[in-house]
Amino acid sequence: MQLMPLPNRMLTCGQMKLELSKPHVMGILNVTPDSFSDGGKHNAKDQAIAYALQMIADGASVIDVGGESTRPGASVVEVDEEIRRVVPVVEELAKHDVIISIDTSQPEVIKAAVQAGAHIWNDVRALTRPHALATAAELNIPVIIMHMRGEPTTMNNLAQYDDVTSEVIAELQQRITDSLNAGIQPENIMIDPGFGFAKNAQQNLKLLNEFYKLNDMGYPILSALSRKRFIGEALGGADAGQRAVGSVAAHLMSIQQGACMVRAHDVKAMSDAIKVWNAMQNQGL
């Protein structure tokens, strides 16, 4: 594992800008009944807003709102239902000083969310849905392109690699090329290697150990491994609620290798860990 400096870049999010030379926490807000770790806890609007405000107070720079679970076997959510779940929360969060990301693959959902005040498109399907590339170019907002093979219902059968890190990089690079060709501006692109998506435990660990290689692509990197199954397996079978410390440790490993943002359930713990990491950097250690 190599230690890497974070990129000196600015992400423009509407009227706000996010400086990426220091790591940020993206707080997870699932307004779903069936997400793997917190499904049903925040799917009422008042609960969702209260939880989001707490994450902001705990140190989140970005709130990532998702209206569809992408866990294996999750139910398909119709576009109208996803909009119904997401947009009222975005409208309320837009009244606060926070950057809002939308975890969706549907162009119709991101359009409605941006109109309501959202700033970033976080797409686990890497803009592969019909009209997604054109929509991202038209909206001219930051997009997070994540690596996955297949769909959440099929991805576990596609976790076959000769070299997981190099193949993830190559497949991400193809999606970036497609994005640029569609008119998406390079300064709007972030990448996510997709921990837990079409990757088994050993592949996830290898990818984490070689995370620094993603820097060669030249784009800011999001690390999103909070409470993932491979963290539980590394902890001897811990369930999702017992993976906070393991998640923080793994996220710090990715930050040390160049991640400028981590997507976390446990925002306070992650923010505190980053404060210690920043203090260490400031001392020149």
At 225, list the tokens: 């491994």
CA dist., res. 74 & res. 188, Å (int):
30
Please give the biggest Cα pair distance in the chain. 51
Residue 41 annotated as catalytic: no
Pick the catalytic residue from 213, 228, 229, 243: 228
63 and 103 in contact (C-beta within 8 Å)? no
Pick the catalytic residue from 125, 149, 213, 263: 263
| Surface-to-core class of residue 275, CB atoms within 10 Å of its CB (0-12 exposed, 13-18 middle, 19+ buried) | exposed
Other beta carbons within 10 Å of 83: 22
CA dist., res. 161 & res. 179, Å (int):
24
The position carrying tokens 């150990």 is 209
Other beta carbons within 10 Å of 229: 18
- The backbone region for 229, taken as left when phi is positive above 0, alpha when psi lies in -120 to 50, beta otherwise, is alpha
Q: What is the CA 127 to chain-centroid distance, rounded?
A: 14
Residue 229 annotated as catalytic: no
At 7, list the tokens: 């990129």
Query: What amino acid positions are annotated as catalytic residues?
Result: 228, 263
